[in-house]
Amino acid sequence: MLSKLVEQTCLAGATDAKIVSTKDISIEHHLADMCKDPQCENYGLSKSCPPHVSGPDGFRDLLKKYERAIFFRIDVPTEILVSPSEDRREVFRLLHEIAAATELSAKEMGYDDARAFAGGSCKRIFCHEHPDCRVISGAGECRYPDSARASMSGYGVNLFKLMKIAGWQMDRITGDTDPEATPMGSLTGLVLIE
């Protein structure tokens, strides 16, 4: 049944997806700390980013409920990843939508507690035209419950280790990466399955 889920994740737009054991998910405090220092420009802006998420300790507790996960990636030209363009926003939006769609498919297959995580700030991706995250401001529920998912960064998930376990190569893309030297990068998502 999980192989069917992997298939659906790829059909939804992932470049590749793998089933991994939650035992292979490494949670590291220093990675979560990087959201704050050096402070990400999106720090604190949504309920899906620190300090509004339960962080590494909370994620470790959460993992106790789960045995496996679907780990997926989308390969994206570095030129898009390093630019502040609408295209960049769109690929992050796709990342969240694939994660949420996989979570929904898992639930429809009977994995009632499936829970998806993505990357990037949902404030910047989905609510960039709004002054506030609706949840943080106390005005109501999330505007995009069917798409927006929490970023793995705030929980300290070591994506490089997970990529290695999945058998994928991952180049670290930063604002200084030269697209000619490193033409492609990857965005990753994770869906926990009980």
Site residues for ligand SF4 per CB under 6 A: 46-48, 122-123, 126-127, 133-135, 142-144, 148
Q: Smallest distance from the beta carbon of 147 to ligand SF4, in angstroms?
A: 8
d(CA 48, CA 125): 12
Q: Is 77 helix (H, G, I), strand (E, B) or coil?
A: strand
* Pairing, β 150-151 against β 16-21: unpaired
CB of 153 to ligand SF4, least distance (A): 14
CA distance to 41, 119, 170, per residue, from 38 (Å): 9, 18, 22
**Tokens standing for 37?**
């220092």
Q: Which is nearer to ligand SF4, 125 or 157 (CB)?
A: 125
Give residue 92's identity as a one-letter amino acid code: F
Residue type, 80: I
Please give the Cα distance from 81 to 7 (Å, whole number): 26
- Compute the least distance from the CB of residue 139 to ligand SF4, in Å: 9
Minimum distance of ligand SF4 from residue 134's CB (angstroms): 4
- CB-nearer residue toward ligand SF4: 11 or 139: 139
Q: Which residue, 68 or 123, is less far from ligand SF4 as judged by CB? A: 123
Identity of the residue, 53 or 82, whose beta carbon is nearer to ligand SF4 in the bound complex: 53
